[in-house]
Chains A and B, each alone.
Chain A
């Protein structure tokens, strides 16, 4: 079965510091990759997505992510974190399988930003 792993349950960074959230996936072919953000009390919002082509994708709110096929990773980065970035971040995979289109979500990484 396919899977998405976010190894960091919780991360704390200082405002202005850089951020990297890790995501690894298990899938035979190249999957469709997504990062979503969930602010407190809100639903999930798409940050960015990767389908093909340039392995570095830009998203909203200054986020970017890099697809590394050799490492089966799709890590999310931001050069300088703002207090408003405190939220939960989910990596997701869209896969076309024999049973049809499937979506798999990681367990999420909670980000705390300290002043």
Chain B
């Protein structure tokens, strides 16, 4: 199993550009989520999905869109990039959404918005 994979690993955007961060998992997990990691702030939840066709907002959803057309894939779209979105983005998955379930994380995407 590849686990949770993310592409790209690094990305530089100009303000106003759009892009999609890809996330895929091969563990047949129902729950998938996106976090951003900023210095001194830990991980903050952007969006999450409890299954194909179902998504919901997390703590910091503004400026981001998601969709979940398959169990395996959960892309994150930046609609119009802003410097405040410079961050490291992690995709995570778990069997289902439950407070006791371990989350499996991808290697992250480091995004810089100029």
Q: What's the Cα separation between A18 and B8 when bound, in Å? A: 38
Q: What's the Cα separation between A102 and B31 when bound, in Å? A: 12
B4 touches A51 (CB 8 A): no
Number of A-B contacts (CB under 8 A): 53
The DSSP consensus for interface residues of chain A is strand
Q: Is B105 an interface residue (CB 8 A)?
A: yes
CB distance from A20 to the nearest CB of B (A): 20
CB distance from A27 to the nearest CB of B (A): 10
In the complex, residue of chain A having the shortest beta-carbon distance to the beta carbon of B100: A32
A43 touches B4 (CB 8 A): yes
Contacts of A106 in B (CB 8 A): 42
Tell whether A51 pairs with B105 under 8 Å between CB atoms, given A90-B43, A106-B42, A108-B42: no
The residues of B with any CB-CB pair to A shorter than 8 Å are 4, 35, 40-43, 45, 90, 92, 97-103, 105-108
